[in-house]
Amino acid sequence: MLTNKKIVLGVTGGIAAYKAIALTSKLTQAGATVKVILTAGAQEFVTPLSFQAISRQPVFVDTFKELDPGKIQHIDLADWADLFIIAPATANIIGKYANGIADDMLSTTLLATKAPVYIAPAMNVDMYHHPAVQENMSVLSKRGVDFIDPNDGFLACGYTGKGRLAEPEEIVAYLNKKVAEKQVLAGKKILVTAGPTQERIDPVRYLTNYSSGKMGYAIAEAAAQMGAEVTLISGPVSLATPNRVKRIDVESTKDMYQAVMDHFPSQDIVIKSAAVADYRPTIQANEKIKKQSEQMTIALEKTEDILKTLGQKKTSQFLVGFAAETTNVRQYGKKKLVEKNLDAIVINDVSKQGIGFGSDDNEVLILINDGSEIQINKTSKVAIARQLLTEISHRLEGEKQ
């Protein structure tokens, strides 16, 4: 599963750093291309030359030592990676990553990458179980980071307990397993809509909503990581395009409708998470409307019902809708599931604080047309995206059997 994978291996300052040399060798033997980042602490235990000799790739040690003047190396490396591994990972790098601190080559590259991140901790048993370390690991887990658990045993400090870096063979086996799991959508074409739409009133004003697009972008990113060919149709948002995702920008509901219909026939899965406007001004002024009376009335007309149209037109596509509600969440969700001929619907209560529009977290109820329900309590939108896509892949696999 690691053949032709591009892997960035981050090595931090602990005695277990010597195992990272063997890990580099085994990853290379498995067919991966490995580029190593060494922290200053790691270089107290191992040398760049050791990794360079095994990987036959440049080794990175300094954010400001640009090897290629035509590129910003930490951004280029972050974009290059298919997988990002930290082994061994000290309490220090885990804390920095959890809190968004970027003060060296490894931490800056970590914050810039969109590749799946795997962390293999190695430290003293009491450090590993310290509440601060456990809390930082919990934060990262909610963001979608995978942890490769350390082993129990005799530690370099003389203590016995959990904290030994997993053996290189165990790490490679874990990565093989995870990569296989994450490729469950290989060969599938997925269309995702995200963000709000804008309905013009005049050249300087428009009607819109609070959607940030974060949920849709998380789904598109997760789908690409799981092997799918992803097309993302996005309303106006300030988000970067996920790696390996084809993005189409639109403005109005009519624009999104047309783009969706153009791509719909060739898709296997369609996930409509965009919060499109239900109404638009009947008349869109060509010039700015001047302030006149104390009150102003704008006549509105219904926009195209994209989801309903898709439900009518679908053949073999697995169709998923989203519903942002404030009351009677399950009731309205079930109604939309049936009325719009959906295979699944994801419902969230946007009246709750800390979830929904603009937040990195969400809390959703997924209703499936087979009658099953999946409640996902508050967690990151990335985690929700992965669980949703996993549920979809299970049902598509079940249809084959």
Among 204, 173, 194, 209, which residue's Cα sits nearest to residue 30? 173
CA dihedral in degrees (43, 72, 144, 391; nearest 10)?
-140
Distance CA(391)–CA(350), nearest Å, equals: 23
157 among known catalytic residues: yes
Q: Is position 288 annotated in a ligand binding site?
A: yes
Catalytic residue among 157, 285, 289, 298: 157
What letters, b where the CB count within 10 A reaches 16 and e where it falls short, cover 150-164?
beeeebeeeeebbbb
Tokens 């799981």 belong to which residue? 226
Residue 373, Ramachandran bin (φ over 0: left; ψ between -120 and 50: alpha; else beta): beta
Among 232, 240, 293, 292, which residue's Cα sits nearest to residue 267? 232
- CA 4 distance to own-chain centroid: 22
Distance CA(76)–CA(74), nearest Å, equals: 6
Angle of the 253-263 helix axis to the 306-313 helix axis, nearest 10: 20
Distance CA(387)–CA(222), nearest Å, equals: 10
Among 387, 382, 393, 389, which residue's Cα sits nearest to residue 116? 382
Q: Is position 278 annotated in a ligand binding site?
A: yes
Q: What is the 3-state secondary structure (H, E, C) of 328-367?
A: CHHHHHHHHHHHCCCCEEEEEECCCCCCCCCCCEEEEEEE
- DSSP letter assigned to residue 124: -
Burial of 249 from C-beta contacts in 10 A (0-12 / 13-18 / 19+)? middle
Strand boundaries in 111-188, DSSP class E? 117-121, 146-147, 151-154, 160-164
Query: Within a 13 Å sphere around the CA of 233, how many CA atoms are in the beta-carbon half?
Result: 28
Q: Is position 322 annotated in a ligand binding site?
A: yes
Burial of 346 from C-beta contacts in 10 A (0-12 / 13-18 / 19+)? buried
Active site residues: 157
Binding-site annotation, residues for CTP: 278, 288, 322, 336, 340
Binding-site annotation, residues: 278, 288, 322, 336, 340
